[in-house]
Amino acid sequence: MNDHLQQPANAETPEFIQVLSANAIHQKVVHLARRISADYQNERPLLIGVLKGAVIFFSDLIRQLTIPVSIDFIQLSSYGNSEASCGDVAFCSQVTSDLKDRPLLIVEDIIDTGLTMDKLVKHLWTFEPESIRVCTLIDKYERREIEFKADYVCHEVKTGFLVGYGLDYAEQYRQLPAIYELKF
Ligand code: IMP
Ligand code: MG
């Protein structure tokens, strides 16, 4: 971690435990992109990246796809500096594309309680798309409060607060090329 991030000398930093190296992430993204390309062979899906956490995963994933796609983004409210979702999700920005009769693939950073994705999927159905599938970088399944299953999962973890490769803690650490669990 220290190779990629210089902290102020006196900063109190938590412990970083590597969960996935940059190389391991790359292998998994390539594998997932192959599955997605095969599943959408005769379609032209609209990929919707969920800002900000999914931005790095999204840009790596689309560059591995071998099918024609369009892209758009939606921004949901984060839960500030807290570590837990309260389920009170607000939309900060909306997609600008026409969603009617389109196959949609939502690309998210991490599913934890499931409340955010559940709300987003229900919201997007109101625009009458042809289909909605969900692709997530991390499926963190232990704290699920609502039954929610993503169609494509890059990596599963049971628990832990993760940062890096787009994932943040209080807007920090998104730029790290690997994924780490933070120990406070
Ligand atoms: P959910 O509604 O509990 O599923 O929360 C999902 C959102 O919480 C994700 O899109 C992330 O923005 C954030 N989140 C949940 N767990 C983590 C984590 O371990 N690291 C960083 N962000 C997280
Ligand atoms: Mg998110």
Domain ranges of the chain: 23-35+43-158
Give, for ligand 1, the residue of 55, 58, 109 to mutate: max count of ligand atoms closer than 8 Å to Cβ: 109
Q: Which residues pair with 113 in a beta bridge?
A: none
d(CA 72, CA 116): 18
Q: Are 178 and 25 in contact (CB under 8 A)?
A: yes
pLDDT on residue 6: 72
Please tell me the distance between residue 4's alpha carbon and the centre of ligand 1 in angstroms: 23
Ligand 1 pocket, residue 139 CB under 6 Å: no
Question: What's the pLDDT tens digit per position in 143-176?
Answer: 999 999 999 999 999 999 999 999 999 999 999 9
pTM of the model: 0.93
23-35+43-158 folds as Rossmann fold (3.40.50)
Closest residue CA from atom 20 of ligand 1:
162
Q: Are 54 and 117 in contact (CB under 8 A)?
A: no
- Any idea which residue has 């994932």 for tokens? 167
Please tell me the distance between residue 61's alpha carbon and the centre of ligand 1 in angstroms: 19
